[in-house]
Structure 1
Amino acid sequence: MPSLRLRLVIVFALVALSAAVAASGIAYWLTRDAVLTRAQNAALGDFRKTLGDHAGTLPPRPTCEQLQDAAVAMSRSTQNYEVLLIDRQRDGQRCAVTSSGAFSLDDVPRKLQRAVGKRRTSGGGNGAAYHLYWQRVTQGDTPYLLSGATVIGDGPTGYMRKSLEPERDDLTSLAWSLAIATGLALIGSVLLAQAAASTVLRPVQRLGEAARRLGEGQLDTRLKVSGTDELADLSRTFNATAAALEERVADLSAREQASRRFVADMSHELRTPLTAISAVTEVLEDEQENLDPMIEPAVQLVISETRRLNDLVENLMEVTRFDAGTARLVLDNVDVADQVTACIDARAWLDAVELDAERGIIARLDPRRLDVILANLIGNALKHGGSPVRVSVRTEECPAEQPGAQPREQHGAHPGEQHGEQPEEHAGAFEPGSGKLVIEVSDNGPGIPEDVLPHVFDRFYKASASRPRSEGSGLGLSIALENAHIHGGEITARNSPEGGAVFTLELPQDPSRLAAAADEEGDDR
């Protein structure tokens, strides 16, 4: 699609060209008709007069010499034409003489000869027996005006041939002049179109640049407004919209900051009473065997709910750190198989989990955050999918990027989307040719319903019709995803064709560059 400037120039040029061609064509045809009519009328009028003055005074049945003299006398006219006279002599022989040897009866069209020699009946407006006829012809490359008439009273027949070459040359010069004028008009229209396009498009370009800056987050972008035309009104509307958007975003940001501070403050405030409650529940748990059987279920409920509340507070504090951008990696060289085994063993899942991982796969990761990711993924699979849960570990090489490659599909929404934020790109750590760690956690459950699949990583999203109601907080998978993102990795969820859900964790084997960039960004803040 051509640019708006080019389209304006083309439209201006076409309009100007059409107008110039139409005007030039009309002017040419009007001038041509006027020039030819004037030359024709002058030549015919002079021929009529000289034919009557010279040929009309000849005696009946003149000699060829007399006809020749009359033809030469007639050709001496100021109109500069050739004359051909034809008559019969006394002996009955036809005599045809010409003022120049180049003009003969063969040059006169048959149609004109028949019209000139045809005798008319008297009556009407013109009672003469013979009339004057004319015709324009081109012989060779030269245009001519041919005319003929028969002298009344059985006189000679005369033909006139006048060259219209001077008129043709004048008209050719006129055509070239009009063509040059059309070309100049076209050039002028292009220059005018450029000026008009610049005048019209410059404000549009400024508006486009301002819209791009606004889209990039520069909400203080404003346009300088001058004039009272439609573009000025559009600029005023843009400024008003930008101001309203800036005010709205500032209000939303303030509310979001207040909400985050509230969650952080609430989490911190809850930790003190929770510590005391946890100590009490530990005592109750130790004395559980000595309690009255009637109150034992209530004590067990208090213990389990206290643990859930403690986990919720810890998760909320972790989410607050992610939202505030204060979460940092503490990298160490980790044997991934040992790390997975330690995670499973610490939670007594050895009998319910099958591990497919070779020893010696070393990755530079944050062990605590990797443990959080694995615990959430494996625990989620055990709760909702059922054992045995299979955990497989492998490494892959990141292929070089292909031109026009499409971005990888992301299953599940980024947690930040619930707060109106756009998901960030986390594939930057997967440099072409570098290695990445792939951990798959699969279960033998019914799988994830298609309508639930896009929301499995959303915060506080729990339960589906095909799975039992979760007793968790709904933050586990979202925290696991955030921990993967901070490593520069990703977690995706899908359903296996054989049945069950499959969660795939992809992490770079060495996210040091990403961690250093995050530390620098944190220092700038």
Structure 2
Amino acid sequence: MSGPDGPARRSVLAGLRWTSLRVRVLIVFALVALVAAVSASGIAYWLNREAVLTRTQDAALGDFRRQMQNGAASLPMEPTGPELRSAAERMADSSPGYHVLLTGTHDGKPVVASSDLDAFTKLDVPESLQKQVNKKQPLKNGNSHEYHLFWQRTTIRGTPYLVAGTKIIGGGPAGYMLKSLDQEREDLNSLAWSLGVATALALIGSALLAQGAATTVLRPVQRLGDAARKLGEGKLDTRLVVSGTDELADLSRTFNRAAGSLEKQVADMSAREESSRRFVADMSHELRTPLTAITAVAEVLEDEADNLDPMIAPAVHLVVSETRRLNDLVENLMEVTRFDAGTARLVLDTVDVADQVTACIDARAWLDAVDLDAERGLMARLDPRRLDVILANLIGNALKHGGSPVRVAVRADEDELTIEVRDHGPGIPEEVLPHVFDRFYKASASRPRSEGSGLGLSIAVENAHIHGGDITAHNSPDGRGAVFVLRLPRDAERLAGGAERAGGEQAGGDRGAHGKDGAK
């Protein structure tokens, strides 16, 4: 059974699934856009960075090389400190933007001079760079100079700098240049911010595009899902409006063809089922009149059986027995037909459950074979006749196919009534358990003409369902007998919507309620 909130819950779950797909589409688009934007921005930043730094570096190094050729090359082999300082200042003044440091020897002592001692000292020159500058290179075909110009990017007191150095060819002082790259860093930071903004805008744009794409793709999918749900709810005339020639349009056409085929098949099946149901109902009604007459004659013959020829008496008893069996079968078929047609109704009354069970057992003379465990005063609002049908089938089935004594236990809580019928027979074979409530099912193929019709338990479970309850069957854990458990609401009227449903059928009475079922 499904509660009244079932469709709403399914709709919410479907909405969540639909939203989840939309989110996944947005995430995929965002990730693709993020990777593309970050990659493009990273490549653009790296190319611009290299271009800016290389341009600045080449200009500074070219100018420094010329200054060394024009200014430092004119110094003597062992210049004095003032000579070095004067040359360094001239070089720095000729090329604003960097500082110059010159080193040499005078009278065997090292001499160092800087264009600005506060800005550039020998400590600012990396030792690795000093070693490269002062290292004499071997002369080869591809190398005609002993000393080369070397450079290195470094950070001094949090500011990026370009440090370069070289030595006068043929001997003389070594010169070092220090150029700040702070302006280039600011330019590159501005470029990074610009690329970051562009990346963010690309992500926003991709999200908008993803939203549009998701809406375009998911709207037909949502319509298809809604149509499928309607189809599952029994609205077989549901169709989709098809437009376009893409894959989704083909899917919609396929759905429409499948829905049309399903509607036709269901209509054919419903027509055949209705025809079969009408045939069974008509046949049952037509059989009742002659059966009534045959039953009356059979009862007269049964009363006179003792006065008949001993050779005829067994035949009379057989006719009487089969006539009653046929009468019960017709009554059961009529009851089944009412269930299938949906015309079965409850006639509700407030009853003492223990009294109802006792009356059912007493009416069939089962008091000696049934052990009843029921507390008086357990009141329930249900259909007494249908409860009698259920109990008669369950207890009669246990007595016939199980073993005495049959124990009937009645329990109840605030909302539910539970009646357990337990026998002491061999139990139900495991392969039979799933079929015990099937119509016309008999566990033993060797007893096709047993007294039961195979309808008793199926009628019992249908009567439980119409109350809003159910019947389950299992074997006793100790292996001694089968157990049938009937569960009914204590107030069937409340589950039926608060309206007491008056029964439309008066047929079917207790004669179809006897426990003659071949399920076990």
Report the TM range for the smaller structure's normalisation: 0.7 to 0.9
Deviations 1:68-109 (A, max 9, x none): 4333222123452222334455x6665433322232333333
For the pair 1:170 / 2:187, whether they are aligned, the reply is yes
For the pair 1:192 / 2:174, whether they are aligned, the reply is no
For the pair 1:505 / 2:486, whether they are aligned, the reply is yes
Q: Secondary structure at the match of 1:97?
A: strand
Is the 2:164–2:176 Cα contact (8 Å) retained in structure 1? yes
- Write the distance in 2 (CA, Å) between the matches of 1:9 and 1:174: 29
Q: Secondary structure at the match of 1:83?
A: strand
- Write the distance in 1 (CA, Å) between the matches of 2:472 and 2:92: 106
Code of the residue aligned with 1:396 in structure 2: it is: A
For the pair 1:473 / 2:453, whether they are aligned, the reply is yes
Q: Paired residue for 1:97?
A: 113
Query: 1:264 deviation in Å?
Result: 0.3
For the pair 1:84 / 2:66, whether they are aligned, the reply is no
Question: Any residues of structure 2 matched to 1:411-426 within 5 Å, and which?
Answer: none
The 1:321–1:113 alpha-carbon spacing in structure 2 relative to 1, beyond 3 Å, is: closer
Code of the residue aligned with 2:117 in structure 1: it is: G
Question: Any residues of structure 2 matched to 1:117-136 within 5 Å, and which?
Answer: 117-120=134-137, 122-136=139-153
Given candidates 195, 203, 206, the residue that maps to 2:223 is 206
For the pair 1:488 / 2:468, whether they are aligned, the reply is yes
Is the 1:449–1:466 Cα contact (8 Å) retained in structure 2? no
- Write the distance in 2 (CA, Å) between the matches of 1:120 and 1:364: 112
Query: 1:257 deviation in Å?
Result: 0.8
Which piece of structure 1 moves more, 492-501 or 164-173?
492-501
Q: What TM-score results when the alignment is normalised by the length of structure 2? A: 0.84
Q: Paired residue for 2:127?
A: 110
Is the 2:348–2:502 Cα contact (8 Å) retained in structure 1? no
Q: Paired residue for 1:519?
A: 501
Code of the residue aligned with 1:499 in structure 2: it is: R
Is the 1:46–1:77 Cα contact (8 Å) retained in structure 2? no
The 1:495–1:467 alpha-carbon spacing in structure 2 relative to 1, beyond 3 Å, is: farther
Q: Paired residue for 2:514?
A: none
Q: Paired residue for 1:150?
A: 167
Which piece of structure 1 moves more, 304-313 or 144-153?
144-153
> Which blocks of at least 5 consecutive residues in structure 1 are unaligned?
398-432
Is the 1:271–1:313 Cα contact (8 Å) retained in structure 2? yes
Number of equivalent positions: 484
Given candidates 290, 305, 317, the residue that maps to 1:288 is 305
Given candidates 429, 434, 453, the residue that maps to 1:449 is 429
Is the 1:487–1:511 Cα contact (8 Å) retained in structure 2? yes
Q: Secondary structure at the match of 2:155?
A: strand
The 1:42–1:349 alpha-carbon spacing in structure 2 relative to 1, beyond 3 Å, is: closer
The 1:320–1:63 alpha-carbon spacing in structure 2 relative to 1, beyond 3 Å, is: closer
Identity among equivalent positions (%) equals 71
Query: 1:64 deviation in Å?
Result: 4.5
> Which blocks of at least 5 consecutive residues in structure 2 are unaligned?
1-16, 505-520
For the pair 1:140 / 2:122, whether they are aligned, the reply is no
Query: 1:468 deviation in Å?
Result: 10
Query: 1:445 deviation in Å?
Result: 1.9
Is the 1:43–1:79 Cα contact (8 Å) retained in structure 2? no
Q: Secondary structure at the match of 1:214?
A: helix
Is the 1:222–1:239 Cα contact (8 Å) retained in structure 2? yes
Deviations 1:348-400 (A, max 9, x none): 334433444455555444333333223222322222124333334x3411xxx
- Write the distance in 1 (CA, Å) between the matches of 2:366 and 2:503: 39
Is the 1:446–1:466 Cα contact (8 Å) retained in structure 2? no
Question: Any residues of structure 2 matched to 1:292-331 within 5 Å, and which?
Answer: 292-331=309-348
Query: 1:261 deviation in Å?
Result: 0.3
Given candidates 34, 41, 49, the residue that maps to 2:58 is 41
- Write the distance in 1 (CA, Å) between the matches of 2:354 and 2:72: 130
Is the 1:384–1:467 Cα contact (8 Å) retained in structure 2? no
Q: Paired residue for 2:12?
A: none
Q: Paired residue for 1:56?
A: 73
The 1:53–1:464 alpha-carbon spacing in structure 2 relative to 1, beyond 3 Å, is: same
- Write the distance in 1 (CA, Å) between the matches of 2:491 and 2:153: 96
- Write the distance in 1 (CA, Å) between the matches of 2:61 and 2:503: 100
- Write the distance in 1 (CA, Å) between the matches of 2:75 and 2:468: 119
The 1:390–1:469 alpha-carbon spacing in structure 2 relative to 1, beyond 3 Å, is: farther
Is the 2:104–2:110 Cα contact (8 Å) retained in structure 1? yes
For the pair 1:460 / 2:440, whether they are aligned, the reply is yes
The 1:447–1:31 alpha-carbon spacing in structure 2 relative to 1, beyond 3 Å, is: same
- Write the distance in 2 (CA, Å) between the matches of 1:499 and 1:121: 107
Is the 1:46–1:79 Cα contact (8 Å) retained in structure 2? no
Q: Paired residue for 1:6?
A: 23
The 1:101–1:504 alpha-carbon spacing in structure 2 relative to 1, beyond 3 Å, is: closer
Is the 1:336–1:363 Cα contact (8 Å) retained in structure 2? yes
The 1:459–1:123 alpha-carbon spacing in structure 2 relative to 1, beyond 3 Å, is: closer
Is the 1:82–1:98 Cα contact (8 Å) retained in structure 2? yes
Is the 2:374–2:411 Cα contact (8 Å) retained in structure 1? no
- Write the distance in 2 (CA, Å) between the matches of 1:84 and 1:341: 120
- Write the distance in 2 (CA, Å) between the matches of 1:117 and 1:333: 115
Q: What TM-score results when the alignment is normalised by the length of structure 1? A: 0.83
Is the 1:463–1:470 Cα contact (8 Å) retained in structure 2? no
For the pair 1:385 / 2:399, whether they are aligned, the reply is no
Is the 2:301–2:316 Cα contact (8 Å) retained in structure 1? yes
Superposition RMSD on alpha carbons, in Å? 3.0
Query: 1:305 deviation in Å?
Result: 0.9
Q: Secondary structure at the match of 1:300?
A: helix
- Write the distance in 1 (CA, Å) between the matches of 2:131 and 2:353: 116
- Write the distance in 2 (CA, Å) between the matches of 1:62 and 1:350: 136
- Write the distance in 1 (CA, Å) between the matches of 2:136 and 2:405: 124
- Write the distance in 1 (CA, Å) between the matches of 2:111 and 2:479: 118
Q: Paired residue for 1:419?
A: none
Which piece of structure 1 moves more, 153-162 or 462-471?
462-471
- Write the distance in 2 (CA, Å) between the matches of 1:169 and 1:348: 106
Which piece of structure 1 moves more, 270-279 or 301-310?
270-279
Code of the residue aligned with 2:450 in structure 1: it is: S
Query: 1:283 deviation in Å?
Result: 2.7
Code of the residue aligned with 2:115 in structure 1: it is: S
Deviations 1:147-202 (A, max 9, x none): 33333444443322222222222222222222222222222222222222222222
Given candidates 235, 242, 251, the residue that maps to 2:252 is 235
Query: 1:65 deviation in Å?
Result: 4.3
The 1:447–1:307 alpha-carbon spacing in structure 2 relative to 1, beyond 3 Å, is: same
For the pair 1:273 / 2:290, whether they are aligned, the reply is yes
Q: Secondary structure at the match of 2:430?
A: coil
Q: Paired residue for 1:183?
A: 200
Q: Secondary structure at the match of 1:148?
A: strand
Is the 1:452–1:464 Cα contact (8 Å) retained in structure 2? no
